[in-house]
Structure 1
Amino acid sequence: MTRIDYFDDPNAPKANSVVPSVTVAVRNEQGQILLIHKIDNDLWALPGGGHDVGERIADTAVREVREETGLEVEITRLIGTYTDPRHVIAYDDGEVRQQFSLCYEARWLSGNPREDGTETKAARWVSLSELDALNIHPSMRLRIDHAVDQGRTSPHLG
């Protein structure tokens, strides 16, 4: 299913659903950040996805990283909440979601990045100097910037 992200666009369709979701920032010993190249919108992003019934939200984060990248991780902190109603995601089945996402930081435990072929066409460690050269949605770049800001002591609320 394809998707289009709209951010602060007056021509965006009206939201008709809200689905809790997560993104996860994982860094390696060299300071690189784990990114995926998404199949549905051809953008680079932090791994993540929708919350399933019966899960704790932190378990959703661990599961999504495992499914999309093959890595095992441990959640270490909340980076922020992202609920801006000006950010909607339109799917080709008619669903238009208002953003509702929690972004976590996680510690890499094991595994090597790999694509899953369903949601991701690539998964790799990216140096911070490479970020500007990648096609990343502004709302995702905001999460990445918050994740790499080592001076933050409290989560982003917005």
Structure 2
Amino acid sequence: MARTEYYDDPDAPEPNSLVVAASAVVGDERGRILLQRRRDNHLWALPGGGMDLTDSLPGAAVREVKEETGLDVEITGLVGTYTDPKHIIAYTDGEVRRQFNVCFTARIVGGRLAISDESTELRFVLPEEIDDLPMHHTQRLRIRHFLERREGPYLG
């Protein structure tokens, strides 16, 4: 299923669902950030996805990182909340989502890097390489907030 992301676009379809989602900035010992190239839109993104009814929000981030990358992680902090109503995601199955994303920080505690059916590539990327990758600006915003080492989480 393909997806199209809209931001502040008057031609964006009207949302028909609100999805609570979690994502995670997973770093390595060299200061690189784990990114996945999504199969549904071919853009680079942080690992993450929708919360299941049986998840806690941090648990959703841990589960999604495992499903999408093969890595076991532990949540270490909070980057921020991302609830901008201008960000709309439309799927080819008819779902038009307004997403509510909470972005965490996480550290690797086990597992082995493995591509899932949701991605075509996984890569640890140096911060200075991120601007060269095709990525939706809402993903860049989360990464920028992480790299700013803010005293408190972004609330938006």
Equivalent-residue separation in structure 2 for 1:124 and 1:139 (angstroms): 19
Give TM-score scaled by structure 1 length: 0.96
| Corresponding position of 1:115 | 115
In structure 2, the residue matched to 1:50 is 50
* Range 129-138 or range 107-116, more displaced: 107-116
State the alpha-carbon separation in 2 of the partners of residues 149 and 119 from structure 1: 29
| CA distance in 1 between partners of 2:112 and 2:143 (Å) | 20
Output the TM-score relative to the length of structure 2. Answer: 0.97
Q: Is the Cα contact below 8 Å between 1:90 and 1:96 reproduced in 2? A: yes
Deviation at 1:147, TM superposition (A): 1.4
- What is the CA-CA distance between 1:10 and the residue it aligns to? 1.2
Point out the structure with the larger strand share: 2
Letter of the 2:142 counterpart: R
Kept after mapping to 2: 8 A contact 1:33/1:126: yes
Does the 8 Å contact 1:113/1:124 carry over to 2?
no
Where does residue 155 of structure 1 map in the other structure?
153
C-alpha RMSD of the superposition: 0.9
CA distance in structure 1 between the partners assigned to 2:112 and 2:34 by the alignment: 10
Determine the structure 1 residue equivalent to 2:10.
Answer: 10
Aligned AA for 2:67? E
Note the residue ranges of structure 2 that are not aligned, 5 or more in a row: none
Structure 2 CA distance for aligned equivalents of residues 109 and 129 of structure 1: 25
Find the aligned partners of 1:40 and 1:102 in 2 and give their Cα distance: 21
- Which residue in 1 is equivalent to 2:140? 141
Contact 1:114–1:124 (8 Å) recurs in 2: no
User: What are the ranges of 5 or more consecutive residues in structure 1 without an aligned counterpart?
Assistant: none
Task: Output the CA distance in 1 between the equivalents of 2:94 and 2:8.
Answer: 20
Aligned length: 156
Residue 80 of structure 2 is matched in structure 1 by: 80
